[in-house]
Amino acid sequence: MQTNATINHGSIDKLFSMVEAERPTIEKEIVIEEEPLIIEETTTTAKPSSVNEIVEKVTNESAETTADTFIWLIDFVQQLVFKFFANKKKKNRAKKIAGVDGSTRLIELLEQLKKERRNKTTPTEISSEEDRLLLELNDEINDFIEALDLTDSEKKMLKEPLKEMAKIKNMKISPEMSLFIAAAMIVCSRVGVLISI
């Protein structure tokens, strides 16, 4: 048995509208109370929480060590080079002041003054203009050599760019390399003194 049912769209719409009209509407006002957000800053040193933080810390320490080593090397090289040229200049100027034996005369004067200080005797008066000029030359060159060390501000000026360069270029100086550099610097400084004599 077959039934033919026809659906009238208008009657369905009417049915839905009646259901909607009978449904009670509940209006609720939703109130969200906002509490002030308090962010506490902690100054405790927290342990690195991720591998990236650990790598960053190691990279910074490595870069700082590398920068310190390069600054040490720069200071050493500039001292070695400038001491060599300063002593060379002292010999040449002594030669101009006192002739061919200017360097020898300067050494004699310095030994005489050293001996007088050691024996605590009254220093002999420098009567010769040549001797006075030679001693002034020696003091001038020695003051220059003593002032060669890099100052703290110069080291600081070099350190930050060197640290950044070491990070970017991933430069690391191993303990073995540091030992080699230190040994080379000690030997080179003694060779430099020997050459300038």
Please write the tens of the pLDDT for every residue from 139-169.
999 999 999 899 999 999 999 998 888 888 8
pLDDT tens, residue by residue, 184-194: 888 887 887 77
Q: Give a yes or no: residue 40 inside a domain.
A: no
**Are 152 and 43 spatial neighbours (Cβ–Cβ below 8 Å)?**
no
What's 69-101 look like in SS3? HHHHHHHHHHHHHHHHHHHHHHHHHHHHHHHHH
Q: Cβ distance 195 to 84 under 8 Å?
A: yes
Instruction: Decide if 179 is inside a domain.
Output: yes
Asked whether residue 23 is domain-assigned, the answer is no
Q: In this structure, is residue 142 part of a structural domain? A: yes
Give the chain's domain count. 1
Say whether pTM exceeds 0.75: no
Residue 32, pLDDT above cutoff 80: no
What are the C-alpha distances in Å from 115 to residues 122, 131, 140, 142?
A: 11, 17, 21, 19
- In this predicted structure, the answer to whether residue 18 has a pLDDT above a threshold of 60 is no
Answer yes or no: is 47 within a domain. Answer: no
Q: Is the pLDDT of residue 33 over 80?
A: no
Residue 75 domain flag: yes
Averaged pLDDT for residues 9-25: 56
169 lies in a domain? Answer: yes
Q: What is the mean pLDDT of the chain?
A: 77
Q: What pLDDT sits at residue 153?
A: 92
d(C-alpha 173, C-alpha 165), whole Å: 13
pLDDT for 144: 93
Q: Tell me the two tokens of residue 95.
A: 């030669």
Is the residue at 81 inside a domain?
yes
Residue 57: give the domain boundaries.
52-196
Q: Please, are residues 69 and 181 in contact by the beta-carbon 8 Å criterion?
A: yes
Whether 20 shows a pLDDT value over 60: the answer reads no
65-93 per-position pLDDT tens digit: 888 888 988 998 898 889 889 988 998 99
